[in-house]
A and B are shown apart, each in its own frame.
Chain A
Amino acid sequence: MERIYIFKRFERFWHWTQALLIIVMMITGFEIHGTYSNLGFESAVQLHTLSAWALITLWVFAIFWHFTTGEWKQYIPTMDKVEAMFRYYLTGIFTNAEHPFRQTTLHKHNPLQRLAYLLVKLMINPLIWVTGFLYLFYTSWDKWGLGWLNLEWIATIHVIAAFMMLIFFIAHIYLATTGHKPMSHIKAMITGWEEID
């Protein structure tokens, strides 16, 4: 059994705080959307808004961290071994085939992870962030020359992005159990140390 140090302290803090904020925002967001009643609309809005600002603050630091540490390179997309990854998840994982990707400190994400996280960072997050910001400040649209926008469409795009996040969330949690042992990835995200073969 080999152990390597994959996730640094800030990265782990960033991950779990972000996870918590996103869960809170999904719960409160779908209440604001009218899917169910839970905290009451007012509390849901307050918590959702507070979480949004907290997450944005966190992102500012995370972006800074990625660039100052060079960690952003972990997300450079590659198609190399993507097919192999798919094949592994479809069949290999059931037959104890060897994992096509070997984690290292310099390459801690497999090619599918790279693509998925890049999609989250470059599409889902900005979509949520921009529409959420517009949603929050819809009374200022006229002042900003955005009077042509329509709240219904902004809200709808925001919700579509939220559904993308929800689907990512489900897949992400499940795939976190596909490490060396079911808890390997999760432990790594907590302690920083990943068990590998």
Chain B
Amino acid sequence: MFTRDQLIAPVLGIACALALAVSMPAAATATPAAEAVQEVAAGLEGAVAKAAAEVAATAGQAGPDAGVAAPAPAPVVAATEEEAKSSSTADHSKFKELNIDFKSGPEVTTACLECHTEAAKQIHKTKHWSWEYTNPDTGQKLGKKNVINNFCTSVTSNNSFCSACHIGYGWSDDSFDFSSEANVDCIVCHDTTGTYKKLPGLSGHPNYETIEWPPHSGKFRPPTDLKKIAQNVGPTSRKTCGTCHFYGGGGDAVKHGDLDSSLTNPGRYLDVHMDSKGLNFTCSRCHVTDEHEVSGSRYGVTAADEKGMLVPGSLDPRNPTTCVACHGNTPHPDKAAKLNDHTRKLACQTCHIPAYARSTLQTKMSWDWSTAGKLDEQGHRIQLKNSAGKVVYDSKKGNFTYDRYVVPEYQWFNGEVKFTLFGDKVSEDGVVKINEFQGDANDPDARIWPVRVFRGKQMYDKGLQTLAVLHTAGEDDAAFWGNYDWDKAMEVGMRAAGSEYSGELGFVSTEMSWPVTHMVSPKEDALKCESCHTDGGRLAGIEGIYLPARDRMPLIDTIGFGLALLALIGVLIHGGIRVILAKREA
């Protein structure tokens, strides 16, 4: 049996520990009085932020200390574009096959294929070439060729414009030969000179002659120097991928919100991985590419990756383009172990991309086609700009709104997306979901994802009750962007899609969802706990989970605080009487 003195020694040791525990400044300033203490919280924010920074994921810092593994032994400071080029074993400027005054893109491709004999065959199998994708789960025929969006709406009947972003030459209509190897555009992805530009209206070709560009601008583009370009080909880069993916929807930053030209040379703040002075990831660092098939498609999203890190050399055929593939499922250090609990319910992006469109570029937030077609008194096209110089009305397209530093919306997402395709019944009642992310809280494959929701109003055929295909662009007299005649443009567009226009044009409200997954912030900018753990926080609309500080049973609170208040009143009355009686006696 211990004596009292023997017990006291360890107890004093604990006393010190406890004293430390409770002597944190937080405890001293804490009071249970509710709203009045906001100021205190503000004062403490610095300390809290520092603590948060210490415990947050070390997302960008590859290396064993950070508990983060890179997919391959990567240098911490990756090569710049020039260095990457110099690491190649081939100097293309020394090849006589490329020392030719090429007249056209296909001529260059033919030269490429003399050595890279299988390249075009590989490209032919990819979505970049076919613009088609059949979802194995839903059977829906997707891809740019089939999907109707709520930006420019549809590729069908507008190929000569849209194919400026096709990795081929000459796709102007259905007669395009998808089996032609010479029609593959190698350069658009492998140019390093930055001088190659496929222009809308040229069916995927660059200009071979001097051309006024933009049209009616009085500025002229010299012929594309194909020889110089061919002699300087190299690996893909943020710039080459961005040639199309930064400009989707008709301009810089328009479509994705999390992809725009600011990512060509981003700082660490904008994207911790692509940081041009730091990790300097190219797109293909994550979108690992084999046989020209680029991984990580929006059409087949891996919303929850439970298998952990994808070790280099693994034979696992799963999608390598996930955060987890490199960071694993418990990426936060032990001292922030609570954060690792969150990966069961949250996508990494939810906390680590607190906002998208975080550069000076504004992304488009809505597009209302229903106001398009208005002309001035002379019958000319109208363009109105906002104070930032962005077009907010265009006769060709209708009304737009823009925003930057956009806070995403949040929803459960299991990777499955159901599209509303041409022919699917739609009506003006409610909002048509162009695509709908599937999943809920009970779905083990679902996570809470940040989502960009693009809202619009667009054409539909009232008679057929389907989203419309409008013939917008072209040199003919039916194209809406030349003639502003809805019915004519609808007739041509709908016929190209395989239907006869009913003659009744309507406009439906639509929403299109995009997973937000680029522009990953440094850890110190990740969301704080109270971004969601509060009333009316970011996850206010998320159902199916109990979220502390957001959720509570109001009845329990009413009863609990009610009884506590009664107890307090009771003792105050009791004590009051004692005080009064004591005074009388005295």
Give A residues with C-beta under 8 Å from B. 8-10, 13, 17, 20-21, 24, 26-28, 30-43, 45-47, 50-51, 54, 57-58, 61, 64-65, 68-69, 89, 93-94, 96, 138-139, 150-152, 155-156, 159-160, 162-163, 166-167, 170-171, 174, 177
Contacts and interface: CB of A to CB of B under 8 A. Distances in A.
B577 A94 contact: yes
Contacts of A166: 560, 564
A8 B4 contact: yes
Nearest to A174: B571
Contact of B8 (A9, A39, A68): A9
A35 B571 contact: no
Given A38-B40, A166-B560, A174-B574, A30 B567 contact: no
Contacts of A51: 21-22
Interface in B1-36: 1-2, 4, 7-8, 10-11, 14-15, 17-18, 21-22, 24, 26-27, 30-35
B253 to A, nearest CB: 33
Contacts of B577: 94
Interface in B542-586: 545-546, 548-553, 556-557, 559-561, 563-564, 567-568, 571, 574-575, 577-578, 581, 585
B211 interface: no
A40 B571 contact: no
B477 interface: no
B548 A32 contact: yes
A171 B571 contact: yes
A93 B567 CA distance: 18
Contacts of B26: 39, 43, 47
29 contacts: A10-B7, A10-B8, A17-B22, A20-B18, A20-B27, A21-B22, A27-B27, A27-B30, A31-B549, A33-B552, A34-B549, A36-B35, A37-B37, A38-B30, A42-B528, A43-B44, A47-B24, A57-B18, A61-B7, A68-B2, A139-B344, A155-B548, A156-B553, A159-B552, A166-B560, A166-B564, A167-B563, A167-B567, A171-B571
Nearest to B10: A61
B30 A10 contact: no
B529 interface: yes
A14 B563 CA distance: 28
Contacts of A54: 17-18, 21-22
Nearest to B335: A46
4 tightest Cβ-Cβ pairs between the two chains A and B: A163-B560, A34-B549, A174-B571, A36-B34
A37 to B, nearest CB: 5
Interface of B: 1-2, 4, 7-8, 10-11, 14-15, 17-18, 21-22, 24, 26-27, 30-35, 37-38, 40-41, 44-45, 47-48, 51-52, 338, 341, 344, 528-530, 533-535, 545-546, 548-553, 556-557, 559-561, 563-564, 567-568, 571, 574-575, 577-578, 581, 585
A24 B344 contact: no
Contacts of B44: 39-40, 43
A152 B344 CA distance: 17
Q: Is the interface of B mostly helix, strand, loop or mixed?
A: helix
Contact of A21 (B18, B561, B564, B578): B18
Contact of A93 (B10, B530, B546, B578): B578
B51 A46 contact: yes
Contacts of B21: 21, 50-51, 54
A69 B3 CA distance: 9
Given A43-B44, A57-B14, A174-B571, A155 B4 contact: no
A36 B561 CA distance: 13
B48 to A, nearest CB: 5
Given A10-B11, A41-B533, A160-B556, 13 more contacts: A21-B18, A27-B27, A42-B52, A42-B528, A46-B51, A47-B26, A50-B21, A57-B17, A58-B14, A58-B18, A68-B2, A94-B578, A94-B581
A13 B15 contact: yes
Nearest to A90: B574
Contacts of A24: 22, 27, 30
Contacts of B30: 24, 27-28, 38-39
A26 B564 CA distance: 13
A41 B90 CA distance: 56
B351 to A, nearest CB: 12
Contacts of A150: 546
A40 B8 contact: no
A10 B533 CA distance: 39
A40 B574 contact: no
A40 B581 CA distance: 45
Nearest to B52: A42
A17 to B, nearest CB: 5
Nearest to B21: A54
A167 B569 CA distance: 11
B564 A27 contact: no
Contact of A155 (B1, B2, B35, B546): B546
Contacts of B560: 159-160, 162-163, 166
A154 to B, nearest CB: 9
Contacts of A28: 30
A32 B528 CA distance: 14
A138 B341 CA distance: 9
B2 to A, nearest CB: 6
B488 to A, nearest CB: 59
Contacts of B551: 34, 152, 155
A152 B529 CA distance: 19
Nearest to A40: B48
B21 to A, nearest CB: 5
A30 B21 CA distance: 19
Contacts of B37: 36-38
A40 B45 CA distance: 8
Nearest to A151: B546
B32 A27 contact: yes
Most buried by A among B1, B21, B38, B551: B21
Contacts of A8: 4
A117 to B, nearest CB: 17
